[in-house]
Amino acid sequence: MSENKNNPTALTVEEGKRYCWCRCGLSEKGAICDGTHKTADTDKRSLSFIADANKTIFLCGCTQTKTPPFCDGSHNSL
Ligand code: FES
């Protein structure tokens, strides 16, 4: 079974910790920025955010969300 890159990535986050959401679509870690954008031919940069609680979140994988970095279901209409 193959993963659809557009699907959201579930991530368990810790309150107060910073995370970086990939907006370039080139990260080997899916929706988590791995720094690939720094050496790729793209002007897109990651979006960092600080978790407001200990919880599981769903990061957008298609980069079309209207509520970045969180999935809003936009991948369902691609
Ligand atoms: S690797 Fe995509 S924004 Fe950093």
Model confidence pLDDT, tens digit, residues 4-17: 778 899 999 999 99
Q: Answer yes or no: is 77 within a domain.
A: no
Q: Answer yes or no: is 59 within a domain.
A: no
pTM over 0.75: yes
| Domain count along the chain | 1
Domain limits for position 45: 1-19+28-54+66-71
Cα(25)–Cα(45) distance, integer angstroms: 10
Q: Answer yes or no: is 76 within a domain.
A: no
Cα(41)–Cα(66) distance, integer angstroms: 24
Q: Answer yes or no: is 49 within a domain.
A: yes
Q: Answer yes or no: is 1 within a domain.
A: yes
The model's confidence at residue 2, banded by pLDDT at 50, 70 and 90, is very low
Q: Answer yes or no: is 12 within a domain.
A: yes
Name the residue of 37, 60, 63 whose CB sits within 8 Å of the most ligand 1 atoms, as the mutation to test its pocket. Answer: 37
Ligand 1 geometric centre to CA of 53 (Å): 24
